[in-house]
Structure 1
Amino acid sequence: MGSAMIAAEDCVLVLLAAGRSLRMGDIGSKLDEPFLGRPLGLHVAVALEDMPFMERVAVVGQADCDYAAHGFVIVRNDDPQLGMGRSVALGVDCARARDAKAVVVALADMPRVTATHIYTLLDAVDGDDAVVASSDGRSPRPPAVFGRARFDTLVQLEGDAGARDLVRAGKHVVTTPAELIDVDTPEELERLRELVNAPEAYTRRRHG
């Protein structure tokens, strides 16, 4: 097996930042909400900044986060209601163009993900058809790594269900639930701020 793991240098990072924030009420994009002194959606970009990916691609919708400043190529998903599948396909197209061995798919609304965990995912890759996802011990979820033999499938996924099925069938690497928190609602963001003692939890007064 020896050479099972895959190097970050051979991977393209695909950051999905095109969600429509449907559950965040009317605040525009949740990714622009402040969290620990920077926009929520930039945390994962900063956490993975030192990983030597061959390329970083941010698939964006309406968020104002400046991914370009963090070394990302920006790809616009002009039709976010086609679901995550469309965003994944756009990112995988870029990876294919670069002849990457794998893609690392991460979500911009998961601000606690660490580089250490991504390296652990890469270490679990065992071939071109690998699917390695994260797990909190209960259910698999992103971040996930897909080997290049999966690119064709990924590009053709419809909506969100196909990606979920693929992730469920793959290998799962367990990490702490706290690392895999994703922020979908204002309440979740507020809870997370309190959990980590973010200054925003106390300085932002609710306008009633």
Structure 2
Amino acid sequence: MRTERIAAVLLAAGTSSRFGEDDKLMADLRGKPVAAHTLETVASMAFAELVAVARPIALAPVIHRKLERRGYTILVNDKPEEGISASIVRAVEHVMPLRRVRGILICLADMPNIPPSHYNRVCLAAEDIRSVVASTDGFSSSPPAFIGRKHFPELLALKGDQGARALLSHGIQIETSGAVLHDIDTVEDLQSWRSVTPG
């Protein structure tokens, strides 16, 4: 499916609980915040809609500014402790009335090494509104992932921190390296990633 028929949903409302006191999305990675790598890559592509779910602006002012500058519609998750599902629900509620949108591409702000080519592979593997397409390192399913409009009611019922994992595990799997899909959870992750070349 062409990206022009898909809404990109960037999830950036996590509490960074495993990272310590600092906000991992604002940590420096190769000269800019971790989240900036992902939001800029996604914004450079021709999606029908750019949606980001973030923490309240008082808690993440820099990310809000960067998202606004790149044309994202910002939705606030003021209860990030409810897990990733709460962010997905907010995004789906926003996208559902947009009839031109045939599905969403879920992207995680703490996965900064994903190149546009992989996002495109996931989108192109989606055939219609029934499609579910996940990324995989050969072992488990993860975002970036396409979920067609037919599954929006199922997404609205999600709860907790598992997100759409069960749904993704039954979808088409687009394989790439674990280094590309690895997210940043801890300070140690970030330190090892500072030596990794994108894509």
TM-score (norm 2): 0.91
1:8 aligns with 2:3: yes
Counterparts of 1:179 and 1:162 in 2: how far apart (Å)? 20
Deviation at 1:58, TM superposition (A): 0.8
* Structure 1 match to 2:195: 194
Other-structure match for 1:92: 92
**Does residue 50 of structure 1 match 2:44?**
yes
After TM superposition, give the deviation of residue 68 of structure 1 in Å.
1.0
Given the alignment, which residue of 20, 29, 37 partners 1:35?
29
State the identity %. 36
Unaligned runs of 5+ in 2: none
* Shift of residue 162, structure 1, vs aligned partner: 5.1
Deviates more, 1:139-148 or 1:170-179: 170-179
Letter in 1 for 2:12: A
Q: Which moved more, 1:73-82 or 1:154-163?
A: 154-163
CA distance in 2, matches of 1:36, 1:91: 29
| Runs of 4+ that moved beyond 3 A | none
d(CA) in 2 for partners of 1:115 and 1:159?
A: 29
The answer on whether the counterparts of 2:14 and 2:80 sit within 8 Å (CA) in structure 1 is: yes
Q: Which residue of 2 aligns with 1:144?
A: 145
Alpha-carbon distance in structure 1 between the residues aligned to 2:30 and 2:196? 11
Structure with the greater alpha carbon radius of gyration:
1
Query: How many Å separate the matches in 2 of 1:160 and 1:141?
Result: 13
- Give unpaired runs (5+ residues) of structure 1: 1-5, 198-208
Q: Secondary structure at the match of 2:110?
A: coil
Q: Which residue matches 2:179?
A: 178
Matches within 5 A, 1:64-79: 64-65=62-63, 66-79=66-79
Amino acid corresponding to residue 52 of structure 1 in structure 2: A
Secondary structure at the counterpart of residue 103 of structure 1: strand
Code of the aligned partner of 2:135: S
Match of 2:161 in 1: 160
1:169 aligns with 2:170: yes
What are the within-5 Å matches in structure 2 for residues 120-139 of structure 1?
A: 120-139=121-140
Following the alignment from structure 1 to structure 2, what is the Cα–Cα distance between the partners of residues 153 and 83? Answer: 16
- What secondary structure, in the 3-state scheme, does the structure 1 residue paired with 2:194 have? helix
Counterpart residue identity of residue 53, structure 2:
V
Q: Deviations over 1:133-181 (max 9, x none)?
A: 1011111111000000011111110112351111112111001222112
Distance 2:197 2:125 in 1: 30
1:23 partner amino acid: R
Partner AA of 2:19 in structure 1: M
Deviations 1:49-94 (A, max 9, x none): 2211111011001333121111111100011111101101111122
